[in-house]
Amino acid sequence: MVAALVGDPARANMLTALMTGRALTATELAHQAGVTPQTASSHLAKLEAGGLIEPEKQGRHRYYRLTGPDVAGVLEGLAGLAERAGHTRVRTGPKEPALRRARICYDHLAGDLGVQMLDSMKRQRLIRQAKQAIELTGEGRRFMASALQIDAEALAHPRRPLCKACLDWSERRHHLAGTLGAAIMNRLTELNWAARDPAPGSRVVNFTRNGEKRFAALFGNTPGLAAAI
């Protein structure tokens, strides 16, 4: 059922657009899918019935969003499989290098910098990872509080783990999801280190020059840089 829903090119493009975490209108999704509004309505009805998206009405407008981060994780994994098998539908163009470098995956950082962050956290022993299971260490909790002012205890959620491995489609390795991944992305935005591309359907995350330097100090490829900031 899910495979059939995701396998249609128009629906796949709609779902990819919703991986920004933002709610979009049917008109915006029709544009992203390259179909007429009438065709888009049919696709959206199927996606809603399949439990992949949910509508939200505000005034005269009806918006759609993914039903949760677990749906985004499945879509990211499928995109990675398609990339590896040579069946990717990712559109090439000027923004593709930026998309591969840093992008939003529902609400957390993905791409080269997202994978780099998780690798750095493992090297610094801020987390322990066994396959897809990730645990924040005591040192990791102290690091989050001192370096980013993130209280890991406050991120507990009954239906979402603190840390989760999400398979990155472009790097084909894991980046960090879960409530901690979302909190880090929010903090990067609050500090003006990074900003999401405002264009509808865009997943690109742009780092400022200062933000990239500060991010590298915390999560760069050279161990021990965090102590210098």
pLDDT of 35-53, one tens digit each? 999 999 999 999 999 999 9
Shared domain for 17 and 56, answered yes or no, is yes
Residue that terminates a domain, selected from 67, 100, 116? 67
Asked whether the beta carbons of 117 and 109 are under 8 A apart, the reply is: yes
Shared domain for 122 and 223, answered yes or no, is yes
pLDDT of 71-82, one tens digit each? 888 888 777 665
Shared domain for 137 and 175, answered yes or no, is yes
Q: What is the pLDDT of residue 45?
A: 94
Q: Could you give the CA distance from residue 16 to residue 28 in angstroms, rounded to a whole number?
A: 13
Which CATH number is 32's domain given? 1.10.10.10
Query: Which residue ranges of the chain lie beneath pLDDT 70?
Result: 1, 80-95, 222-229
Q: What is the pLDDT of residue 140?
A: 98
Residue 16 belongs to domain spanning = 2-67
Q: What is the pLDDT of residue 82?
A: 59
Shared domain for 29 and 126, answered yes or no, is no
Q: What φ, ψ does residue 198 adopt, rounded to 5°?
A: -75, -10
Among 164, 176, 3, 166, smallest CA distance to 82 is for 3
From residue 6, give the alpha-carbon distance in Å to each of 71, 147, 177.
Answer: 11, 39, 21
Shared domain for 21 and 132, answered yes or no, is no
Residue that terminates a domain, selected from 20, 40, 67? 67
Residue that terminates a domain, selected from 67, 94, 124? 67
Shared domain for 43 and 106, answered yes or no, is no
Shared domain for 21 and 60, answered yes or no, is yes
Asked whether the beta carbons of 162 and 155 are under 8 A apart, the reply is: yes
Shared domain for 36 and 112, answered yes or no, is no
Our count of domains for the chain comes to 2
Shared domain for 26 and 92, answered yes or no, is no
The angle subtended at Cα 94 by Cα 88 and Cα 96, nearest 5°, is: 35
